[in-house]
């Protein structure tokens, strides 16, 4: 995709489509006002007749508009001027791109980037625009047979800017948005693949392939024998009931010499039956998404590698299946973690924390500047926050606030959740150092407290994405979150933001 910026008036651009907006009370956006003037009130007449809507998410494609050079004008609703923020902006862009999908549009100019969007400068407007375009055009067709629908042949995507001094910021925003969109796309693809394809071995092959030809990125894969020698009894207890071999995926991106790395740890349960603590049948097919933590950190690695950020980042993915085989771990079994701490497995369906704790301990060897784990960890998190925000827990107020601010800036929002001894006390066991569950109350928090027992001395944060990693229902599919949030954290850390 080629990205460009322009200070030209919308009516003078010979694009296949120009995106403009209208506000409540028939107020025109900057681009729409220019189109309306050139067409001698064409848009105003359509607004008065009720043929154009200012409601956010609505779009109408106009053709053969008099006095303008573009073949099409996409008129999107922007709602009230006082409520135009990044969320409404992205919704408007998505509506326009969706309306164009299926057409033969090759070049689009988005003039909405001229508007006063709360909290967004030219960098973020261009970045949100490109990310939204990528998200809207995403289709998962890899497993479908027969003739596939051809995508819109979009090859040039431009953003209007008010002055030439904004060009560098907008260009960087488009560049970063393109890389983040690629990372989101990869995360979605990995999540949407069925579990008979996307196995731990498949994830390992994807990670190895990403490092091929990239001098800054290396990948190594640890097998079960190597994990056993390291003492990863907790991780291996989860994979005990399946014939599919577990893999520990370790990716290292070196963009900043000897600086301490940020380590991202992603839960990679490629299918979760619950083990002996078997899940109910309805919607169990969605447990292929239990590796979306892994997909998210691998997608983030793809984004930062494409941006060539001056930062060191490591990704660690414990990849397993959780199956109820004859050799599977049983409720009441006690396992020994790599840290030496023992765990009473009261519920084999609380398996994510069992693989993450050993991955966190393994990550100590990197002496990280910060460590962030990402996991579809608890149904309790979905009850607490729904499908809108990612839960953020941390032993560092500064790191928690950093991630929260990054989520807001990236339009990939999280919400801080507590940790504390009063919750950790629920994990006491009569027979081991700790139990792997703490009862029904505060389940998302006690899961975080469990992981916290393996992070002493590290700046650590835990992101529970159980509610945000995928969508159910008619639009079922991976969301690619939290790739934008994590990318924002890394962009800010290395000073790559304008």
Residues classed as catalytic: 279, 353
**23 vs 61, 91, 376, 416, 449, CA distance in Å?**
17, 14, 39, 34, 47
Beta-carbon contacts of 130 under 8 Å, excluding residues fewer than 6 positions away, are 3, 157, 173, 174, 177, 178, 181
Beta-carbon contacts of 125 under 8 Å, excluding residues fewer than 6 positions away, are 89, 112, 113, 117, 159, 170, 173
Phi-psi region of 182 (alpha: psi -120 to 50; beta: other; left: phi over 0): alpha
Q: Within 10 Å of residue 38's Cβ, how many Cβ atoms?
A: 17
In this structure, are residues 317 and 210 in contact, taking their beta carbons and an 8 Å threshold? no
Partner residues linked to 249 by β-bridges: 221, 317
> How is 395-463 classified by DSSP, letter by letter?
S-HHHHHHHHHHHHHTT--EEE----HHHHGGG--SSSSEES---STTHHHHHHHHHHTT-TTS-EEEE
> Cα separation of 129 and 459, whole Å?
33
Angle between helices 200-211 and 292-307 (to 10 degrees): 0
In this structure, are residues 448 and 428 in contact, taking their beta carbons and an 8 Å threshold? no
């Amino acid at each position: 995709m080629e990205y460009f910026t322009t200070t030209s008036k919308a009516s003078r651009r010979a694009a296949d489509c120009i995106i403009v907006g209208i506000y409540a009370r028939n107020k025109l956006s900057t681009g729409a006002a220019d189109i309306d003037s050139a067409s001698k009130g064409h848009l105003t007449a359509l607004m008065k007749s009720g043929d154009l809507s200012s409601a956010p998410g609505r779009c109408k494609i106009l053709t053969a508009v008099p006095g303008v050079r573009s073949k099409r004008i996409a008129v999107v609703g922007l709602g009230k001027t006082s409520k135009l923020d990044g969320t409404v902006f992205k919704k408007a862009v998505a509506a326009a791109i969706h309306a164009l999908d299926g057409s033969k549009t090759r070049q689009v100019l988005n003039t909405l980037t001229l508007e006063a969007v709360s909290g967004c400068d030219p960098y973020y407007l261009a970045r949100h625009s490109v990310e939204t375009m990528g998200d809207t055009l995403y289709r998962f067709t890899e497993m479908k047979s027969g003739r596939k629908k051809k995508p819109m042949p979009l090859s040039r995507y431009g953003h209007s800017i008010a002055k030439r001094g904004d060009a560098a910021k907008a260009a960087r925003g488009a560049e970063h948005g393109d890389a983040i969109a690629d990372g989101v796309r990869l995360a979605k693809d990995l999540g949407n693949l069925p579990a008979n394809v996307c196995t731990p071995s498949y994830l390992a092959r994807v990670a190895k392939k990403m490092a091929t030809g990239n001098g800054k990125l290396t990948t190594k894969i640890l097998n079960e024998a190597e994990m056993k020698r390291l003492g990863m009894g907790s991780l291996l207890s989860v994979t005990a009931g399946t014939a599919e071999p577990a893999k520990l995926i370790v990716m290292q991106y070196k963009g900043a010499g000897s600086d301490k790395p940020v380590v991202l740890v992603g839960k990679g349960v490629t299918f979760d039956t619950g083990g002996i603590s078997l899940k109910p049948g309805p919607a169990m097919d969605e447990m292929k998404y239990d590796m979306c933590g892994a997909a998210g950190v691998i997608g983030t690695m793809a984004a930062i590698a494409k941006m060539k950020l001056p930062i060191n980042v490591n990704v660690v993915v414990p990849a397993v299946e959780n199956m109820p085989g004859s050799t599977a771990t049983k409720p009441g079994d006690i396992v020994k973690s790599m840290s030496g701490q023992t765990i009473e497995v009261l519920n084999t369906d609380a398996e994510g924390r069992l693989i993450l704790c050993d991955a966190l301990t393994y990550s100590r060897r990197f002496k990280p500047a910060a460590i962030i784990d990402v996991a579809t960890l608890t149904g309790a998190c979905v009850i607490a926050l729904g499908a809108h925000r990612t839960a953020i827990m941390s032993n560092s107020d500064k790191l928690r606030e950093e991630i929260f601010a990054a989520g807001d800036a990236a339009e990939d929002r999280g919400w801080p959740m507590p940790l504390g001894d009063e919750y950790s006390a629920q994990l006491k066991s009569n027979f081991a150092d700790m139990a792997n569950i703490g009862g029904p109350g505060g389940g998302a928090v006690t899961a975080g407290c469990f992981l916290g027992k393996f992070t002493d001395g590290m700046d650590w944060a835990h992101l529970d994405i159980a509610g945000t990693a995928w969508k159910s229902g008619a639009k079922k599919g991976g969301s690619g979150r939290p790739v934008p949030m994590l990318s924002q954290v890394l962009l800010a850390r290395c000073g790559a933001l304008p």
